Amino acid sequence: MTAKPIIAIIGRPNVGKSTLFNRIAGKQKAIVIDEPGATRDRNYMDCVWQDKAFTLIDTGGFEPASEERILVQMREQTNLAIEEADVIIFLMDGKDGLTPSDMEIAKQLRGKDKNVFYVANKVDGRRDKDLLSEFYRLGIGEFYPISAQHGQGVDELMAKVTQAFPSANDFKDDQDEQIKIAIVGKPNVGKSSLVNRILGKERNIANPTPGTTRDAIDMPLKVHGKHYLLIDTAGIRKKNKISLTLEKYSVVQALKTINRCDIALVLIDAEEGMNEQDVKIAGLAYERGKACIIVVNKWDKIEKDNSTLGKFVEDIKYKLKFMDFAPIIFVSAVTGQRAPKIFDLIDEVYAQYTKRVGTAELNDRLAAFLSRNPMARYQNKQMHITYATQVEIKPPTFIFFASAPKGIHFSYERYLHNQIRETFGFEYVPLKIIFKKKNKSRV
């Protein structure tokens, strides 16, 4: 499965990056990556534009702390965006004309192996268009005048930007035998050490093959006769000279791998415990319906007593209340402690992630669920669920046909989630339940 192209909108503060971001995402009813309990601003969205799928990033929100640091901050932002994105939209302010800051960013873009679109925003009338000629001083062949606020020119821009992108249909789960694993986490948590431990101890490694993104390498391997694919390990190991002080961009690394995986191994630093960035990365996997395993690394460095493990588990489950079903394993990538057990857990999680429940069995058990806990009344009428069926795997997805789907309380939906988990053995994976109105009975 190919990786989704990544588009980054870059530019100096207040040129309208967030407005363009919302225009592109909102027009196509993009799925917002709204990680539970995670980020304060929504800067990442999966989008589809005219049947072309991509991930959109807004580099806004990093206002410099002081005026003298503005170019330093801007260079860092721009370099990070250049490193991660496949396509750059360089946004400038058409009303301000060409500024020294714009020229600084353009200088950073020169010589980079990226497709860059130069865009002048806030171009609303003839007077604004008269200012555009000075942008040619950047030495560019073409730029795009738009109004992100009013939508003028955005369709033409995006048609060009996405022209060579693959169709959205290309990103549906493929059905090969490999179990695709993404190893994700914040910087310096031990991702590369774990990759090296896995690849060093478990032999029978196929030749590394270049992935679809510039820095990605997929590592196929075989363990106990089963085929696995470690995704994007080059991007994990190779930071080049890019500063990672802007932690937000470690999320971009996670995005590139999570989009393509079946199971995300979310690495936690045992010495630091689970922090906001860890929750954010786990939330990315959760929002995409991916199976997740929480891997607490550097466990060998922790002084322990009888309650240490229990306290760690309690803290993680508290901070990941939205996905407290995810299994937790404590390892040391350096010493190898418990690292081999990761594959046993991966196999168990994947079996649940791809499990199908027969319709007859599901509806037999559904009757028992409803009998044990009858549905509440809605608009003075007794509610009914007449039929259920599993329609998807990865994640297991169920449709329940109900008399009044809008009347089903979230607590009853949670009850059904729990019953399905316990009854059919889905304890470790996300489940999706969809309520639909039942068809009228035929006489």
Considering the domain architecture, whether residues 120 and 199 belong to the same structural domain is answered as no
| Confidence category of residue 265, pLDDT binned at 50, 70, 90 | very high
Q: Is it the case that residue 242 has pLDDT exceeding 80?
A: no
Q: What is the pLDDT of residue 141?
A: 80
Q: Is it the case that residue 1 has pLDDT exceeding 70?
A: no
In a domain, 245, yes or no: yes
Considering the domain architecture, whether residues 112 and 205 belong to the same structural domain is answered as no
Cα 111–chain centre separation: 29
Q: Is it the case that residue 74 has pLDDT exceeding 50?
A: yes
Question: Where are the extended beta strands (E) located within 83-136?
Answer: 87-93, 115-121
Residues 397-443: tens digit of each pLDDT: 999 999 999 999 999 999 999 999 999 999 999 999 999 997 654 43
Considering the domain architecture, whether residues 266 and 404 belong to the same structural domain is answered as no
Please give the residue range of the domain that contains residue 298: 174-353
Considering the domain architecture, whether residues 151 and 255 belong to the same structural domain is answered as no
In a domain, 443, yes or no: no
Considering the domain architecture, whether residues 200 and 74 belong to the same structural domain is answered as no
Average pLDDT on 153-162 reads 94
CATH code of the domain covering residue 399: 3.30.300.20
Tell which of 153, 169, 185 closes a domain.
169
Considering the domain architecture, whether residues 337 and 214 belong to the same structural domain is answered as yes
Q: Is it the case that residue 59 has pLDDT exceeding 90?
A: no
CATH code of the domain covering residue 86: 3.40.50.300
Considering the domain architecture, whether residues 161 and 194 belong to the same structural domain is answered as no
Of the chain, the percentage scoring pLDDT greater than 70 comes to 77
In a domain, 1, yes or no: no
Average pLDDT on 112-119 reads 88
Number of domains making up the chain: 3
Average pLDDT on 374-398 reads 92
Average pLDDT on 2-19 reads 83
Considering the domain architecture, whether residues 160 and 220 belong to the same structural domain is answered as no
How many residues in the chain? 443
Q: Can you list the alpha helix ranges (DSSP code H) found in 222-374?
A: 233-237, 248-258, 276-287, 308-319, 341-353, 359-372
Tell which of 293, 320, 353 closes a domain.
353
Burial class (CB within 10 angstroms; exposed 0-12, middle 13-18, buried 19+) of 266: buried
In a domain, 285, yes or no: yes
Considering the domain architecture, whether residues 50 and 153 belong to the same structural domain is answered as yes
Q: What is the pLDDT of residue 44?
A: 67
Residues 318 and 247: their CA atoms lie apart, in Å, by 23
- Position 423, amino acid: T
In a domain, 442, yes or no: no
In a domain, 424, yes or no: yes
* Closest residue by Cα to residue 97 from 15, 215, 213: 15
| Confidence category of residue 280, pLDDT binned at 50, 70, 90 | confident
Predicted TM-score (pTM) of this structure? 0.66
Q: What is the pLDDT of residue 326?
A: 97
Query: Judging by DSSP bridges, how do beta strands 52-58 and 44-49 pair with one another?
Result: antiparallel
Average pLDDT, the chain: 80
**According to the per-residue pLDDT averaged within each range, which of 122-126, 253-257, 282-286, 315-319 is highest?**
315-319
Q: Is it the case that residue 243 has pLDDT exceeding 60?
A: no
Residues 333-352: tens digit of each pLDDT: 989 899 989 999 999 999 99
Phi, psi of 173 (to 5 degrees): -55, 130
Considering the domain architecture, whether residues 114 and 199 belong to the same structural domain is answered as no
Across 75-89, 118-132, 188-202, 246-260, least confident range? 246-260
Q: Encode burial over 428-442: b for 16+ CB neighbours within 10 A, e otherwise.
A: bbbbebebeebeeee
Across 82-96, 251-265, 310-324, least confident range? 251-265
**According to the per-residue pLDDT averaged within each range, which of 28-42, 101-115, 177-191, 420-434 is highest?**
420-434
In a domain, 336, yes or no: yes
| Confidence category of residue 45, pLDDT binned at 50, 70, 90 | confident
Average pLDDT on 288-295 reads 95
Considering the domain architecture, whether residues 333 and 371 belong to the same structural domain is answered as no
In a domain, 433, yes or no: yes
Which position has the higher pLDDT, 70 or 349? 349
| Confidence category of residue 53, pLDDT binned at 50, 70, 90 | confident
| Confidence category of residue 268, pLDDT binned at 50, 70, 90 | very high
Considering the domain architecture, whether residues 411 and 306 belong to the same structural domain is answered as no
Tell which of 338, 353, 368 closes a domain.
353
